[in-house]
């Protein structure tokens, strides 16, 4: 009996230490981005010069930067906009999507490794049914939250604290961010293309109106999803 109590105390202490490291990591990440020279590199011009120096490996470097940026709580819209401005509407979408997926997977594992044990110790009988429901309906839950634009990075870390399977999380994320990512990169990429060419007459072209229409439509996606959700809502 004593051994069991001692083992439980050790386990709780270990979980608490890990949770403390997670909190310290998040605080340090936010501090680095907001109060150090790092933020000076977060512009199309600065990042573009850095990627030019990378040459052939520029897309790989960008995807790595995107993934690290996600883990450091950089806004996803900022990183996506930079990708579209530098690589254009189509390749920007590809590189942004892969970078976002790498960042989502990495931050999920950070949350799972450092915070899951502590979170599990706080889950009482009342919350356990929701934790179990997320495990059973992980894919549907993640897909829904991504489609309604739940904050990207907080959700990555937060899902790591739940019982959701990594496979359900990564597939739900991959499908859930495709539409929003394409719309945003297409919109920014199209405007950047016109700005670079100096052909302002294209501002009244079909492509521009189409990109503006898609961008405007993106704001209605969460409302549409919420309206149709009750019909397919998973059991909790």
Contact between residue 11 and residue 5 where contact means Cβ atoms under 8 Å apart: no
Contact between residue 181 and residue 152 where contact means Cβ atoms under 8 Å apart: no
Residue 191 has pLDDT above 60, yes or no: yes
Of 191, 169, 180, 117, residue with least CA distance to 147: 180
Round to whole Å and give the CA distance between 132 and 127.
9
Give per-residue pLDDT as tens, 202-229.
665 666 677 777 777 776 766 776 666 5
Question: Domains in the chain: how many in total?
Answer: 1
Give per-residue pLDDT as tens, 15-70.
788 888 888 888 888 787 777 777 677 777 788 888 888 888 999 999 999 999 99
Please tell me the predicted confidence (pLDDT) of residue 235: 47
And the tokens for 94? 């590809």
Residue 200 has pLDDT above 70, yes or no: no
Please tell me the predicted confidence (pLDDT) of residue 64: 94
Give per-residue pLDDT as tens, 111-151.
898 887 777 666 656 667 777 778 888 898 899 889 888 88
Round to whole Å and give the CA distance between 30 and 71.
10
**pTM of the model as a whole:** 0.79
Per-residue burial over 144-182, b = 16 or more CB atoms within 10 Å of its CB, e = otherwise: bbbbbbeebbebbbbbbbbbbeeebbbebbbebbeebbb
- Domain range for 197 is 2-232
Collapsed DSSP state (helix, strand, coil) of residue 123: coil
Round to whole Å and give the CA distance between 78 and 55.
23
pLDDT band, residue 236 (cuts 50/70/90): very low
């Amino acid at each position: 009996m004593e051994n069991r109590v001692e083992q439980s105390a050790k386990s709780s202490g270990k979980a608490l230490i890990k949770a403390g490291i997670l909190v310290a990591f998040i605080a340090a990440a936010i501090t680095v981005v907001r109060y150090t020279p790092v933020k000076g590199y977060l512009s199309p011009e600065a990042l573009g010069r850095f990627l030019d120096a990378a040459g052939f490996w520029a897309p790989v470097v960008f995807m790595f930067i995107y993934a690290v940026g996600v883990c450091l709580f950089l806004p996803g819209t900022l990183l996506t906009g930079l990708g579209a401005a530098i690589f254009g509407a189509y390749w920007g979408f590809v590189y942004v999507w892969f970078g976002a997926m790498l960042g989502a997977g990495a931050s999920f594992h950070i949350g799972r490794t450092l915070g899951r044990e502590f979170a599990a110790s706080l889950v009482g009988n009342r919350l356990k049914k929701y934790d179990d429901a997320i495990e059973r309906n992980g894919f549907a839950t993640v897909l829904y939250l991504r489609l309604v634009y739940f904050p990207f990075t907080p959700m990555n870390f937060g899902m790591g604290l739940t019982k959701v399977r990594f496979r359900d999380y990564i597939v739900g994320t991959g499908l859930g961010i495709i539409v929003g990512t394409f719309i945003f990169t297409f919109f920014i990429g199209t405007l950047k293309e016109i700005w670079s060419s100096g052909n302002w007459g294209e501002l009244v072209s079909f492509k521009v109106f189409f990109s503006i229409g898609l961008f405007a439509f993106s704001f209605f996606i969460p409302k549409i999803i919420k309206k149709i959700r009750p019909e397919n809502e998973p059991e909790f």
